Amino acid sequence: MTEVGSTARTLDATNNRITDIPDTVLQLTTLQRLLLANNSIMTVPQSLCMSLTALKVLVLDNNTIASLPDAIGSMTRLERLSIASNVLAVLPDSIGKLHALKELDVPGNKLKACVGGDVFFVCVCVCVKHTFVHTSCVIPAWGAVCMLNNIENRPFSPPSHLNQKALPDTLSTCTLLHSINASDNYITSIPSSLGQLTNLNTLSLDSNRIGAVPPVVLQGCVRLQTLSLHNNLITIEELEATEGYASFDARRRGKFDKKIAGGLAIGPGGLDEGIDRRR
């Protein structure tokens, strides 16, 4: 593999039994496409992100990845990031450094707003009456930590990463984004900051727990034509009553008009409104 390291542009190792990304991959510094879908990868090494800075496409679908390293922000040429069907709980704030990013696909994960009470950790070390106590069992974060710290009457401030949105506000700095797919997660709200994505064309959030769409998203995302919210809490009536919906709906219908003019037939269900009507 090192013999082609200076010339390789694509590495496709899809559909294997890879559990760890080998160090030899880090030597392929000219790679532009790395395809590792349908494996058993659990972690993305910091070193991978820092070494393969020429990558434009990174596909990690159908693995068992629970988190992305902060160093993902080093991949500043990345245009497509696809991590569908893993077990991601949050996206790192550093994803906002991917200023070339055009497509973000993270459906089928476990993305949700992260607060202290939802986090579990291993190995808590405390000093109780000058006796060092170590426990290696997994315990709920805030209940345990606050209790243990109260013994010493010491304040405990939660780390910032334990209070994080399912979709980080830093995504708003990825101004070239034209498609976000975060369907089939546990997302309860859409960040208002996404309204800054003026190139966003498609926002797919089916099968989440979303109850409202911020007006600024409908107003600020001036190229948004597809907003898919099937199987969420919000109703079509609530969406239609949201400020900015009329202009979004005009763009949505314009998309279908172009398809019809191009000879594409609309199915028997009519135009997809992107949201379920309650019956």
Say which residue the tokens 């966003």 belong to.
200
In Å, how far are 57, 71, 88, 108 from 135, measured between CA atoms?
42, 30, 26, 33
* Neighbour-count burial for 242-254, b at 16+ CB within 10 Å, e otherwise: bebbeebbebbee
In Å, how far are 95, 168, 196 from 173, measured between CA atoms?
9, 10, 8
Low-confidence ranges of the chain (pLDDT < 50): 1-2, 117-161, 263-270, 279
Query: What is the model's pLDDT at position 166?
Result: 92
Could you tell me where the DSSP H helices lie in the chain?
Answer: 46-51, 141-152, 215-220, 236-240, 245-261
Q: Are strands 226-228 and 202-204 parallel, antiparallel or unpaired?
A: parallel
Radius of gyration in angstroms for the set of CA atoms belonging to the chain, rounded to a whole number: 22
**Cβ-Cβ contacts under 8 Å for 160 (sequence gap 6 or more):** none
Amino acid at 182: A
CATH 3.80.10.10 fits 2-112+170-261, yes or no: yes
Query: What is the model's pLDDT at position 6?
Result: 64
Query: What is the model's pLDDT at position 136?
Result: 35
Query: What is the model's pLDDT at position 275?
Result: 79
Q: How remote is the C-alpha of 17 from its chain's centroid?
A: 24
Can you give the pTM of this predicted structure?
0.80
Query: What is the model's pLDDT at position 215?
Result: 98
Domain ranges for the chain = 2-112+170-261, 116-160
Which residues lie across from 118 on neighbouring strands?
Answer: none
Query: What is the model's pLDDT at position 7?
Result: 83
* Burial label, 79 (beta-carbon count in 10 A; 0-12, 13-18, 19+): middle
